[in-house]
Structure 1
Amino acid sequence: MDTNRTAKLEFAVQMSCGSCVNAVKSVLEKEPGVEAVHVDLAKEQVLVETALTSLQVQSLIESTGRRAVLKGMGGTETDLGAAVAMVSGAGLVQGVVRFLQLSQERCLIDGTIDGLTPGAHGLHVHELGDLTQDCRSCGDHFNPFRKQHGAPQDSERHVGDLGNITAGPDGRASFRLEDSQIKVWDVIGRSLVVDSGEDDLGRGNHLLSKITGNSGERLACGIIARSAGLFQNPKQICACDGVTLWEERDRPIAGKGRKVPDAPTANL
């Protein structure tokens, strides 16, 4: 379900002067949903406590003309773990979904996925982190208690049942959910899958309704991996290929296009 509970987001932001700090603070502090802002010019760091999605906060910061990269997420309580899935699939479908354990009972799920057809798409955690046959080898929905498929708010549901996300006319689905059954420590190493159609939440008449929500083919997927919490990601330059924090945002995680041939190594 959607949530207004706040979380803390740590961004690296390209700043060089006091006016940069003032510009970033000004645009964030006047935005509804932002509870607190702390800017450290020396570290080029912005910490925001907010109920907004990470994409919304990043867009606000970048509206000042400065680039921003999310480096970590945390709750208002003790760090209970965070994870991330880099989702990709057919055509131009790709995105990032982050999991943050706010408490023993509540997990925050923050994501943006592009390249979707407009409308609703089923979102599920699957039992296997196996992409050897693309999304086909991810196994079934994560269902350790052997229940029937349902909606996120149902007691009778798979743990991996996260309902639907909705893509707008531009093909982008940006969402911020809170779930009572997902635990970060249980889903690390498993996979996150986006389906081609709408999940009927177990309420349909199709034979697959109580199994998968009859949400169509597996459109895109990614392995859920442990990620950095607040102040746990000091990386500025990737040691393996010299790609900087700022360059990395516009390039593939690996493979073709990751490093520009003969380009000088950038320094921060």
Structure 2
Amino acid sequence: MDTNRTAKLEFAVQMSCDSCVNAVKGVLEKEPGVQSVHVDLAKEQVLVETALTSLQVQSLIESTGRRAVLKGIGNSESDLGAAVAMVSGAGLVQGVVRFLQLSQDRCLIDGTIDGLMPGAHGLHVHELGDLTQDCMSCGDHFNPFRKPHGAPQDSERHVGDLGNITAGPDGRASFRLEDSQIKVWDVIGRSLVVDSGEDDLGRGNHPLSRITGNSGERLACGIIARSAGLFQNPKQICACDGVTLWEERDRPIAGKGRKVTDAPTANL
């Protein structure tokens, strides 16, 4: 279900003066859905408590002319865990989806996926974090209690049933959901899959309705990995591919164009 519950978002923001601070605070503090803003110029850090999506907050900050990168996500209570899936697939489909455990029985899911056909697309956690055959090796929907497929609000459903996300005319689906069955500690190492069609939520007449929601082919997927909470991400450069924090902001999240340089040809 959609949610208005707040979370805290930690951004690295390129700032060099007090006017930068005032500009960022000014655009955020007047926005409905933003509860509080704290800016640390020395650390180039902005902490926002908000009910907006991370993309909305990032867009507001960048409307001031400063680049921003989300570094951590958390809440006002104890740290119960966060995770992230970098989703990609055939063609231009790619995105980032974050999971934040708000309490023992509530999980916040915040994401943006681009390159989709306009309309509704099924979104599910699958049982396996195996991408050896792209999304086809992710296994079935995560369903530890052997329930039939259903809607997110149903008690009788797969744990991995997250319903539908909706892409606009530009192919972007930006969403912020709250779920009662997903637990971050249960889904780390599994996969998140977005499908080509609309999930019928187990209410259709098709034979696949109570199995997959008859939501079509698996368009894109990504392994759900542990993510940084608030103030847990000191990264300035990614050791795996040599991408700095600010280069990362302007590069694809995966695939061609991600690395600084391709591996050199062997010289024998």
Instruction: State the TM-score, normalizing by the size of structure 2.
Output: 0.95
TM-superposition CA deviations, 1:3-36 (whole Å, max 9, x none): 0000000000000000000000000000000000
Report matched runs for 1:234-245 at 5 Å. 234-239=234-239, 242-245=242-245
Indicate if the aligned counterparts of 2:3 and 2:178 stay in contact, CA closer than 8 A. yes
Worse-superposed segment, 253-262 or 240-249: 253-262
Instruction: Name the SS for the 1:4 alignment partner.
Output: coil
Deviation at 1:251, TM superposition (A): 2.0
Distance 1:250 1:2, change over 3 A: same
Q: Are positions 1:29 and 2:29 aligned together?
A: yes
Worse-superposed segment, 37-46 or 255-264: 255-264
Equivalents in 2 of 1:245, 1:267: separation in Å? 32
TM-superposition CA deviations, 1:206-240 (whole Å, max 9, x none): 00000000000001000000000000000112345
TM-superposition CA deviations, 1:86-119 (whole Å, max 9, x none): 0001110000000000000100000000000000
Instruction: Name the SS for the 2:21 alignment partner.
Output: helix
Distance 1:188 1:35, change over 3 A: same
Distance 1:125 1:244, change over 3 A: same
Equivalents in 2 of 1:243, 1:64: separation in Å? 25
Distance 1:214 1:254, change over 3 A: closer
Match in the other structure for 1:230: 230
Instruction: Name the SS for the 2:100 alignment partner.
Output: strand
Indicate if the aligned counterparts of 2:95 and 2:253 stay in contact, CA closer than 8 A. no
Distance 1:21 1:160, change over 3 A: same
Deviation at 1:250, TM superposition (A): 1.9
Deviation at 1:258, TM superposition (A): 3.0
Equivalents in 1 of 2:152, 2:7: separation in Å? 21
Indicate if the aligned counterparts of 1:243 and 1:265 stay in contact, CA closer than 8 A. no
Equivalents in 2 of 1:113, 1:151: separation in Å? 21
Deviation at 1:249, TM superposition (A): 1.9
Point out where structure 2 has 5 or more consecutive residues left out of the alignment.
none
Indicate if the aligned counterparts of 1:87 and 1:222 stay in contact, CA closer than 8 A. yes
Instruction: Name the SS for the 1:228 alignment partner.
Output: coil
Distance 1:266 1:86, change over 3 A: farther
Instruction: State the TM-score, normalizing by the size of structure 1.
Output: 0.95
Instruction: Name the SS for the 1:102 alignment partner.
Output: strand
TM-superposition CA deviations, 1:108-132 (whole Å, max 9, x none): 0000000000000000000000000
Equivalents in 1 of 2:256, 2:166: separation in Å? 31
Equivalents in 1 of 2:262, 2:171: separation in Å? 35
Indicate if the aligned counterparts of 1:143 and 1:159 stay in contact, CA closer than 8 A. yes
Deviation at 1:76, TM superposition (A): 1.5
Distance 1:222 1:112, change over 3 A: same
Distance 1:263 1:16, change over 3 A: farther
Indicate if the aligned counterparts of 1:242 and 1:265 stay in contact, CA closer than 8 A. no
Equivalents in 2 of 1:229, 1:120: separation in Å? 30
User: How much is the aligned-residue C-alpha RMSD, in angstroms?
Assistant: 3.9
Worse-superposed segment, 24-33 or 244-253: 244-253
Equivalents in 1 of 2:266, 2:61: separation in Å? 23
Deviation at 1:182, TM superposition (A): 0.0
Distance 1:155 1:129, change over 3 A: same
Percent of pairs with identical residues: 94
Deviation at 1:262, TM superposition (A): 11
Indicate if the aligned counterparts of 1:244 and 1:266 stay in contact, CA closer than 8 A. no
